[in-house]
Amino acid sequence: MLIRQAPDLTDNDVTDRGLYLKRRTLMAGLAGAGLFGAAGEAKAGLTYGKGFSTQEKATSKEDITTYNNFYEFGVDKGDPAENSGKFKPRPWTVRIDGACEAPRTVGIEDLIGRNKLEERIYRMRCVEGWSMVIPWVGFPLKDLIASVKPTSKAQYVAFETVMRPSEMPGQGWNTLDWPYREGLRMDEAMHPLTLMAVGLYGDVLPNQNGAPLRLVVPWKYGFKGVKSIVRISLVEKQPVTSWNKLAAREYGFFANVNPAVDHPRWSQATERRIGEFRRRDTLPFNGYGEWVGDLYRGMDLKRFY
Amino acid sequence: MKRPSKTRDNIVYALVWAACFAPIVWLAWKGFNGDLGANPIEKLIRQLGVWGLRLLLVGLAITPAARILKKPRLVRFRRTIGLFAFSYILLHLFSYIGVDLFFDWGQLWKDILKRPFITLGMLGFVLLIPLAVTSTNGWVIRMGRAAWSRLHRLIYLIVPLGVIHYYLLVKADHRPPLVYGVVFLALMGWRLWEARRSRPSP
């Protein structure tokens, strides 16, 4: 099996910030040798659980940071790395509001300091038919949501990317209806696998990967992973989401990875893992069905794609 | 009209050939240096297709250019450029079948039937084959000028198929395929205008 640990994490499984930082130093030294996983734990002699992770070989940092879909910086895969230099991910605040008792605005350093960060190596499957294995650092979204005390009206979570045309040249074109918006059903948002990422390969998130804060939902197509988030709202109705608004037939609200439901213009049965030559089969729920399949029990996934 | 010297003719030909070879040399060089990005296969296929389309448009632009610039001998490059365009599109198709699909013929067949952009791209390619085959002087003579010309008007159908093929695979930013579409329409517009002008209305 690809997964080494169940997602029901206890506090003992979670690396605290101090340990994580130590490990990060060590990892930096070992990353080149491709040893940082197991060796990092053993040599540090520390008892910590890395977060829920796949054991597959991580995609190179070079590829993860130069092959991006982040249309705010341009539509080519290389544009985000090239055009995000002017973007300022700090200072940064996120507004969390809507159907909750304790709405708040929180600074990014505060978020990083108060949440227990952990490394989670997840597969990422893009709707375009390619995939990566990415070592994120972050914390579960459910912790953040719980902190604002959602009310019973909180049925969905709506996310919004920052709107900064002066720093994000792609927002000057109406390729998408800016700002970028995404959403999850409440149970999806509260699932332990759903991550708010603040780091990548042990370091803070690079601008092109969604600095300083982005969503990662590993069983869904990558476009659900809204980047550079400034607002998270708990809402009653299913929120409008950017790609769905552009082409509802092609990009569903759920967007669960599903080899049996093709994109109208191409097959989703296979994918090319970046760095590999041959295509490989795409797994239902991107291989996370064991943990998330229950969320969709009884739903017609061909209809709710 | 004075015919330019043989040497000059050869130099001009060499330049046209070099220009047509440049994209593939550039791609090969980048590929050799691992410089095609994280997804080199996709990049290679896309670039080969885009250059095929660009050369088809250059081919279509030659007749108008020759007339407008009053340089009728430009027309002698049409065949070279057309065959280069065909070669790029052939490589585009080969890399899709051989590298992307890895000769999964079943998948190829499914793609052709199910994916409109592949259906149209394939149709464009199939229509291009007779044009490439009959591109020699021998074929012009064998078929007769008029029939040959009629056959080669297929290009007016093939190029828009290529543009639509490109348009349909783009996710959100349709500007690049639209630019090619506009260039095509402009070149066709010139032809219509020219046909009308040379055939005065009663």
Residues B42, A272: C-beta atoms closer than 8 Å? yes
Q: What is the mean pLDDT of residues A38-51?
A: 37
Residue A305 lies in a domain: no
User: Which residues does B contribute to its contact with A (CB < 8 Å)?
Assistant: 37-39, 41-42, 100-102, 107, 110-111, 114-117, 168-169, 171-173
Residue B141 lies in a domain: yes
Residues B172, A71: C-beta atoms closer than 8 Å? yes
Q: Is the pLDDT of residue A146 over 50?
A: yes
Q: What is the pLDDT of residue A44?
A: 26
Longest alpha-carbon distance in chain A: 52
User: Which residues does A contribute to its contact with B (CB < 8 Å)?
Assistant: 59, 62-63, 66-67, 71, 75, 77-78, 128, 130, 173, 175-176, 246, 262, 265-267, 272, 274-275, 277-279
Residues contacting B51, CB < 8 A, separation 6+: B23, B24, B88
| Structural domain harbouring A182 | 52-296
Q: What is the pLDDT of residues B38-73, one digit of tens each?
A: 999 999 999 999 999 999 999 999 999 999 999 998
Q: What is the mean pLDDT of residues A129-139?
A: 95
Nearest CB to A175 within list B117, B168, B173: B173
Q: What is the pLDDT of residues B125-169, one digit of tens each?
A: 999 999 999 999 999 999 999 999 999 999 999 999 999 999 998
Residues A267, B111: C-beta atoms closer than 8 Å? yes
Longest alpha-carbon distance in chain B: 63
Residue A45 lies in a domain: no
Q: Is the pLDDT of residue A7 over 80?
A: no
Q: What is the pLDDT of residue A30?
A: 36
Q: Interface pTM (ipTM) of the complex? A: 0.79
Q: Is the pLDDT of residue B105 over 60?
A: yes
CA distance A74 to chain B (A): 9
A67, closest residue in chain B (CA to CA) = B38
- Per the model's pLDDT, the better-predicted residue between A2 and B88 turns out to be B88
Residue B133 lies in a domain: yes
Overall domain count for chain B:
1
Residues B37, A71: C-beta atoms closer than 8 Å? no
Task: Provide, as residue numbers in chain A, all residues whose Cβ is less than 8 Å from the Cβ of B114.
Answer: 262, 267
Residues A173, B173: C-beta atoms closer than 8 Å? yes
Q: Is the pLDDT of residue A196 over 60?
A: yes
Q: What is the pLDDT of residue A27?
A: 43
Residue B62 lies in a domain: yes
CATH number at residue A138: 3.90.420.10
Residues A272, B116: C-beta atoms closer than 8 Å? no
Q: Which residues pair with A197 in a beta bridge?
A: A138, A214
Lookup: tokens for A260 = 């049996």
Residue B162 lies in a domain: yes
Q: What is the pLDDT of residues A86-95, one digit of tens each?
A: 999 999 999 9
| Structural domain harbouring B139 | 6-198
Q: What is the pLDDT of residues A199-253, one digit of tens each?
A: 999 889 999 999 999 999 999 999 999 999 999 999 999 999 999 999 988 999 9
